[in-house]
Structure 1
Amino acid sequence: MEQALFELLSKRLNMIAIPKSEWGKIREDFLQREGGSSEESPEKKEDPLIEEAVKLVGQELIEIKE
């Protein structure tokens, strides 16, 4: 698994096992420390390709599906 991650990311990572009983506390601490929220910010960053397409053909002819 570590080798596959290295080949994908070109970065050595060490995997560690975390007991399920400790995972909730570790996750909570991380989110507090990083100020993380898994929700996206209200204003999404525009994709440069979409911006260019709008410039070329106009918003009326573009339908964006996510």
Structure 2
Amino acid sequence: GKCYQGRFHSPCTYRCERLLVCSHKCMEPCTRNCPPCQRPCENCCKHSNCMKTCGEPCAPCVEPCEW
């Protein structure tokens, strides 16, 4: 960002875009530590779809699955 004699730094306008463990891109601006992904989880089985975000652990399926 632009520096004003050490008194003020304008906020970063660039997106981080590092790949998270879920393979989605971090959309935070200029971050050192990417937060957990807030996009919908894409894990599913033939019985159900995970309804949580990527950053949360999936709930186990109540039916026997063939993973």
The TM-score bracket by the shorter chain reads under 0.3
TM-score under structure 1 length normalisation: 0.22
Larger Rg: 1
Structure with greater proportional helix content: 1
Question: Structure with the greater relative contact order (CA < 8 A, sep ≥ 6): 1 or 2?
Answer: 2
> TM-score normalized by structure 2?
0.21
